[in-house]
Structure 1
Amino acid sequence: MALLEQQLELVKCMQAEGILDDQFSQLIQLQDESNPDFVKEVVELYFDDSVGKIEKVYQLLSSPTPDYDELDQIVHQFKGSSASLGATYIAQLCIKLREGCQQQNAAACQQLVLQIREAFVQLKGRLDVYLQLDKQRTGG
């Protein structure tokens, strides 16, 4: 199977599993000769940004009196960047986490942030494979 076919199959699987949505396919279509590393750059930027946001959420939730307004703001940003990438499952978890913030439910928030981190690790692992295939395919 050609590397491009493997990449597309991987994306199809992630979409079927509800990890990604069509937004990611649209990002792929934006990549061309004039911007051959577009998807790689977007994915790496998302990962770098997300790690900081997840850590900040953990930090805020470890406080005896979490600042739910700040927490909600960070989660709102994370939801937006996840939706822009097409990471639909993470975006859905962020919506639930925002509800937990609005209810100031620390236990629910802590449970959801664990689910988000797990989903993020899974997404990163899968997209790392995608990027490796892309690197092999383009020789970069």
Structure 2
Amino acid sequence: MEVVGQLQKQYVDFITSLFREAYLDDQYVQLQKLQDDSNPEFVVEVVSIFFEDSEKLLNDLASSLLVSISLFWVFILCLRPSLLLMVVLFFLLFLFQLYSQQQVVDFKKVDGYVHQFKGSSSSVGAQRVKNACVTLRNFCEEKNLDG
């Protein structure tokens, strides 16, 4: 039983650090409140769907930019949610560098994908990802290739 207690403490410490570092916001708490005995895996299921949707959205975004995402990065996202923001920002910076070289950007299409990503990240409380999407959407509205 002591091992279970240690694992529970590690989980609480990890989640607390994600809140403290603003990776998660109150929406994650709302998800936890929806979980009950009738659906004890609710949060895991919702977050898993978020990761699946994120993979698709990032692949769609990459396809619109003629770039493909390595499955390695998607795997890393699933293993370490705290790396999600770093990977997303790295990917978005890479895409904008690619865009600035091509000078042909369908900002409306990119904005649509980023809007979807913003919505799904908001629904699970992924605050930093949501904030990165807000910034990227602003760049799309400004048609800013250097952003």
TM-score (norm 2): 0.67
Which ranges of structure 2 fall in alignment gaps of 5 or more residues? 67-98
Distance 2:113 2:30 in 1: 25
Percent of pairs identical after alignment? Answer: 39
Give the 4+ runs in structure 1 shifted more than 3 A: 61-64
Amino acid corresponding to residue 137 of structure 2 in structure 1:
R
Residue of structure 2 aligned with 1:97, choices 88, 111, 136: 136
- Aligned CA-pair RMSD: 1.6
Distance 1:33 1:10 in 2: 23
CA contact (8 A) 1:19 1:88 kept: yes
User: Hey, what does 1:72 align to over in structure 2?
Assistant: 111
User: Hey, what does 1:24 align to over in structure 2?
Assistant: 28
CA displacement, residues 53-100 of structure 1 (integer Å, 9 cap, x when unaligned): 112222323463221111111111110110110000000000000011
Distance 1:58 1:105 in 2: 18
TM-score (norm 1): 0.70
The count of aligned residue pairs is 108
Which ranges of structure 1 fall in alignment gaps of 5 or more residues? 109-140
Distance 2:43 2:112 in 1: 26
